[in-house]
Amino acid sequence: MSAPNTEPSRSRKSYWLWLVALLALAAGAYWYVGKPDAPAAKGGGSLFGPRGMSSMPVPVRVATAEMGLINHTLKAIGTVTAFNTVTVRSRVDGELQEIAFTDGQKVRAGDLLAQIDPRTYRIALDQALGQQAQNEAQLKNAQRDLQRYQLLYKQNSIAKQQVDAQAALVQQLQGSRKSDQAAVDHARLQLDYTRITAPISGRLGLRKIDAGNMVNASNTDGLVTITQTQPISVLFNLPQAQLPDVLAQLRAGKTLQADLYDRDDLNKLATGELISVDNQIDVATGTVSLKARFRNEDETLFPNQFVNVRLHVDAAQALAIPAVAVQHGSVGAFVYMLDEEDKVHVQPIVVGRTDDKRVAVVSGLSAGQRVVTEGVDRLREGSKAQIITD
């Protein structure tokens, strides 16, 4: 007879052993997770349990609400524009003989920029001067004849008609004298136009034509562009709701200061003053355009540069706190305020004007109260705070 097969019985025994082990492990895990917190030695919660963590002080930095001067500052994005821009064009036709400037050069009003061939205009001036001299000689002769005719008429030697005719001839030649002088002035002016000079002081752009080319007065491109950058202006827009505050200061005769900052709104570039406000509101955007002037002595500002503008309207005393202390939630603006025991309380406030990194508090706080500026992410109503002073 063959031996009995014991393999199935061994498999069933192994199966039950593994099942008992798994059940024991699950029961141990359930007991460990669900067991109540062990009481602390002095009646507090466990140091590492949820109750213990909630009772630990939260490190924070605080600031005190205090009275101070709050500037009413309006912020806007502006564009630097040249105070004056001129496209230099020729006012006469001719060959461009000489370019007397280099690209990007700074020039003063009256400096020579280019020379057009003047020979044609010198000839025209000489012709006008010759015609003027000829008519001037005829006028002087006619005036002498008129004097003789008047003397003969007194002697009854000639008729009155002959004297009148000679007087008319003198008046005609006197009119020709004025025309001749106008022709000479025009010819001399045309000759002067062959010297192209800078109409304003500023910085030149890139020249648009080279020497040797023919230029004419009808060319709209011109020779070069001059931009006046000292002083320089900045154009910016403000919402129409902010316009009354600005106009009230201007009507009072006050000069409003404007500060410029770079595109990141970090580095101050220049300080100037507001010089004009547009005469109408843009109905498409609901804004009004303003212009400020800056000396730009170091030429930090460049035409078409984008800048951040801060227009200082006025200043007043107000209760102020750091802007970083103000939080926003379903109740609106609020702060985390500390009481005398350094416990945190959620305090709704009404904020006013913002001055750089400070904000005015209209209501909700009083002078001397402390608010949290750092560490607010872990705070709750009634939390204990640990003030960091370093």
Domains, the chain, in order of start with CATH, read: 54-71+317-387 (2.40.420.20), 74-83+226-315 (2.40.30.170), 91-108+199-222 (no CATH), 118-193 (1.10.287)
For residues 64 and 137, what is the distance between their CA atoms, to the nearest angstrom? 96
For residues 87 and 196, what is the distance between their CA atoms, to the nearest angstrom? 12
The sheet carrying 214-215 orders its strands as: 195-197, 112-116, 94-99, 214-215
Task: Identify the bridge partners of residue 99 per DSSP, sorted by sequence position.
Answer: 114
Q: Count how many residues are written for the chain.
A: 390
Taking a C-beta distance cutoff of 8 angstroms, is the pair 304, 319 a contact? no
Beta strands in the chain (DSSP E): 58-64, 66-88, 94-99, 106-107, 112-116, 195-197, 202-204, 214-215, 224-239, 257-261, 268-277, 287-294, 306-322, 327-329, 332-338, 344-348, 350-355, 358-363, 370-374, 385-387
Q: What separation in angstroms does the CA of 220 have from each of 155, 190, 207, 224, 284?
A: 68, 19, 14, 11, 32
Q: What separation in angstroms does the CA of 348 have from each of 155, 320, 329, 334, 341?
A: 116, 15, 10, 4, 20
Q: Nearest 5 degrees, angle CA 110-CA 86-CA 185?
A: 50
pLDDT by position in tens, the chain (length 390): 444 454 555 556 666 667 667 777 766 666 554 544 434 333 444 333 444 445 688 899 999 999 988 888 899 999 999 999 999 999 999 999 999 999 999 999 999 999 999 999 999 999 999 999 999 999 999 999 999 999 998 988 889 999 999 999 999 999 999 999 999 999 999 999 999 999 999 999 999 999 999 999 888 889 999 999 999 999 999 999 999 999 999 999 999 999 999 998 889 999 999 999 999 999 999 999 999 999 999 889 999 999 999 999 988 889 999 999 999 988 889 999 999 888 999 999 999 888 878 899 999 999 999 999 998 888 888 889 888 887
